[in-house]
Amino acid sequence: MGINDPYSPKLAGIIVSSFEDRGPDIVFNNTELADDEAMVLAIKGMTVIGIDNPLDVIEDINDEEERRATIQQFGPFPIKSRDNLKALAISFVVKAEKSDDLRIMTFGRFCVIFLIYHQEHTRLMLDSYGLIEPYFTIITRDLVSDKDLNPTNLSSVYRRMNMLFQGVLPRVFTVTDKGVIKELIGKEIMHRDVFLIADKKKSSLYTMLIDPEMTVWRKRKIYQSAAKLNSNLYRQKLTISTVTELEEISNLLKRYNLSVEGISLG
Q: For residues 63 and 222, which has the higher predicted lDDT (pLDDT)?
A: 222
Cβ neighbour number for residue 68 with a 10 Å cutoff = 16
**What is the structure's pLDDT at 34?**
92
Average pLDDT, the chain: 84
Pick the closest to residue 137 from 192, 67, 201, 196 (CA basis): 67
Q: What is the topology classification, in CATH, of domain 171-260?
A: Severin (3.40.20)
Cβ neighbors of 183 (< 8 A, separation 6 or more) are: 130, 131, 171, 172, 173
**Cα(70)–Cα(51) distance, integer angstroms:** 13
**DSSP state for residue 248 in the 8-state scheme:** H
The SS3 call for residue 179 is coil
Residue type, 60: D
Q: Is the peptide bond before 76 cis (omega within 30 degrees of 0)?
A: yes
- Each residue of 36-58: pLDDT tens digit? 999 999 988 888 887 555 555 67
How much is the pTM? Answer: 0.71
Q: pLDDT digit string (tens) for 141-151?
A: 889 999 999 99
> Residue 177: pLDDT above 80?
yes
Dihedral Cα 197, 202, 204, 207, nearest 10 deg: -30
For residues 260 and 191, the answer to whether their CB atoms sit within 8 Å is yes
> Which region among 9-18, 185-194, 251-260 has the lowest average model confidence (pLDDT)?
185-194
CA angle 221, 224, 227 (to 5 degrees): 150
Residues in the chain: 266
Neighbours of 214 (CB within 10 A): 14
- Pairing outcome for strands 239-243 and 204-209: parallel
Q: Is the pLDDT of residue 197 over 50?
A: yes
